[in-house]
Amino acid sequence: MKCRNNPNGIHRNRGKRHGRNSIAENRRLLFLLPGLTGVMIFYLLPFLEVVRRSFVKAGNNSFVGLDNYKAVLHNAAFRLAVRNTALYIVLGVPLLMGISLVLALLLRRITARRKLLSALLLPMAVPAAVMVLVLQLLVDKHGLLNGVISELLSRTAGMSAFYGIDYLNSDGALAVVLCSFLWKNTGYMVILWLAGLSALPRDVEEAAEVDGANRWQRWQYITMPELSGSFFTIGMLSVLHIFKSYREVWMVAGSYPQENIYFLQHLLQNWYLKLEFDQMAVLTVLLSGILLIVCLFLQKHLEQGKEA
């Protein structure tokens, strides 16, 4: 295995050129400045406003300290939403990453992958409203899925009295949401995996193959470490899309869906409709705190794990 990055080397080099360092540094950060300014205006300032509002009572704007936090943490709906969202992430992210990685690895071996990729990406391009329409037709109590099942049952088992399942109102609602999430996002993630895999040095892989390393060994020692950065990116994007899938869930199941698919965004949205912005702000601050910690942790272990 080869050490591709050398942070110490960079330091050494920098040390050498200390004289002209500051100008170069200045120039370097000019790359960041325009973007950073915009991010400050359109994202960071708004975010700080959210933080401010989390300590303030909605309506009369009086400072209430941590009262809003207490209220939120004692809220049963909040706990339900956290539990569901966590479960959704814990199930959804690994599933999505796993399935898409397998597909990406398989696709890599296929020469005619281009059309397949288009096919995989299609669901992503379907407008949410139509996606919901399709979903509804499929999983409705009188929908196509139940129709197929009842047909199968009557043909094979001779059962004629199949009562359609109202999937979105059953305990399996989360599974439906998960399936539609996977359906929509797999292609997207495959693209990202492929982008990550494209940097994989094939000569090394081939050399290892010649050396008699088996598939698993090659995966463990060559592919995995190379992909660890992609793991981070794709993991984060999966979380992003978990959050984004909310709109479809809401369109198909409403503001108060079956309790297993009542997510944080349902809560956020309902609070917004009830003008409870203080509670929303608290939730956002808590959420971003957790996300930041997770993100830094993963960054450290995945990004730098690769470099070490």
Partner 1 sequence: MIHTMEISEIKQKLNIGKRKKQKSSPLAVGLCFMAAFLICLPLWMIPTGALMDDMELHQILTPVLNGSDGYAVWHPVPFYPTVEHFYRLLIGSPAFYKLFWNSVGMTAAILAGQIVIGLPSAWAFAAFRFRGREVLFGLYVVLMLLPFQVMLLPQYLILQKLDLYATPGAVILPAVFSTFPVFIMYRGFTQIEQEILEAARLDGAGEMQIFLRIGLPLGQTGIRAAMVLSFLECWNLVEQPMAFLEEQKDWPLSLYLPQLDISQAGFAFAVSVIVLVPALFVFALGQDALEEGITYVGTKK
Partner 2 sequence: MKQKSKLWSSILLGACIISTGLCSGCGSSEEEILMGRYAEREVKLPGTAFTYMHPMADGSYYLYGDEVALTQVSADGESGESVWSWENNSDIHIKNSFAVSDSGAVIFGYTPKFYSDEEYEEFAEDGEYRYLYYYVDETGKENQLALYGSDYETAENLEYFAFAPDGRLYAASSSMVYRIHAENGEAESLFHTNGQVNEFAFLGDTMIALDHEKAYLYDTAGDKLLEDNSVLNEFVTSHQITGKSIVLAVAEENKDMTKVSDTGTINTDGSDDKTAGADSDGDGSDSPILYFGCRTGLYRYIWGGSVIEQIADGRLLSFGNSQYKPLAMQALSGGEFRVLFSGGHMVELYYDETLPARPSKELTVYSLEENGRIRYAGQLFQQEHPDVIVNYETGMDGDSAVSKEDALKNLNTRLLAGEGPDVIVLDGVDMEQYAEKGVLKPLDDFIAPYAEEGTLYQNIAEGMRMTEEEKIYGIPMTVYLPIWLSEKQYLEGEKSLNDIVAGMERARTDHPEGPLLFTPYPQDLLNQMIPACLPAWTDENGDLNVEKLTEFYTAMERLWELDSAGLDEAAREKWQQDVAEVHEIEDDRDMLMATLGQYEDHQDIGEAWAQFGCLLNSWYDLKNVSATKDIFANGWNSKKTEDEIMFSKYAGQAENVYWARTVTGLCEQAKEPELAEEFLTLLLSDRIADKWWLEGQWYGGITIRKDSLEKAMDQNNHEFAEVRGWDAAAISMMYSDSQWFSEADKQWLYQMMEEADCRYLSGTMLEEVVKEAGLQVLEGSLTPEEGAAEVARRMEIEMQE
Kindly list the residues in this chain that would bind partner 2 in the complex (CB under 8 A): 21-22, 25-26, 29, 32-33, 36-37, 40-41, 45, 58-60, 75-77, 80, 129, 163, 166, 250, 254-256, 259, 262, 267, 269-277
For residues 199 and 275, which CB has a smaller minimum distance to partner 2 in the complex? 275
Look at residue 256 and give the partner it binds from partner 2, partner 1, none, a contact being a CB closer than 5 to 8 Å depending on partner kind.
partner 2
Quickly count: other Cβ atoms within 10 Å of residue 40's Cβ.
13
Smallest gap from residue 205 Cβ to partner 1 (A): 10
Look at residue 187 and give the partner it binds from partner 2, partner 1, none, a contact being a CB closer than 5 to 8 Å depending on partner kind.
partner 1
**Length of the chain, please?**
308
* Cα gap 5→306, rounded to integer Å: 8
> For partner 1, which residue of 15, 19, 35, 158 counts as binding (CB under 8 A)?
35
Q: Which residues within the stretch 116-175 sit at the binding site for partner 1 (CB under 8 A)?
A: 116-130, 132-134, 136-138, 140-144, 146-147, 150, 164
* Cα gap 221→243, rounded to integer Å: 33
Q: Segment near partner 1 (CB under 8 A), from 62-70, 167-175, 181-189, 253-261? A: 181-189
- Tell me, by CB under 8 A, how many residues bind partner 1: 112
* Cα gap 169→106, rounded to integer Å: 36
DSSP 9-32: HHHHHHHHT-TTHHHHHHHHHHTT
User: How far is the CA of 6 from the CAs of 37, 173, 298, 306, in angstroms?
Assistant: 31, 49, 20, 11
Smallest gap from residue 170 Cβ to partner 1 (A): 16
| Start-to-end C-alpha separation, the chain | 12
For residues 51 and 91, which CB has a smaller minimum distance to partner 1 in the complex? 51
> Is 82 near partner 1 (CB under 8 A)?
no
Look at residue 71 and give the partner it binds from partner 1, partner 2, none, a contact being a CB closer than 5 to 8 Å depending on partner kind.
none
Residue 197 in contact with residue 108, Cβ under 8 Å?
yes
Smallest gap from residue 233 Cβ to partner 1 (A): 4
> Is 284 near partner 1 (CB under 8 A)?
yes
**Bridge partners of residue 63, in order along the sequence:** 56
Quickly count: other Cβ atoms within 10 Å of residue 265's Cβ.
20
> Is 61 near partner 1 (CB under 8 A)?
no
277-298 vs 224-244: helix crossing angle, rounded to 10: 170
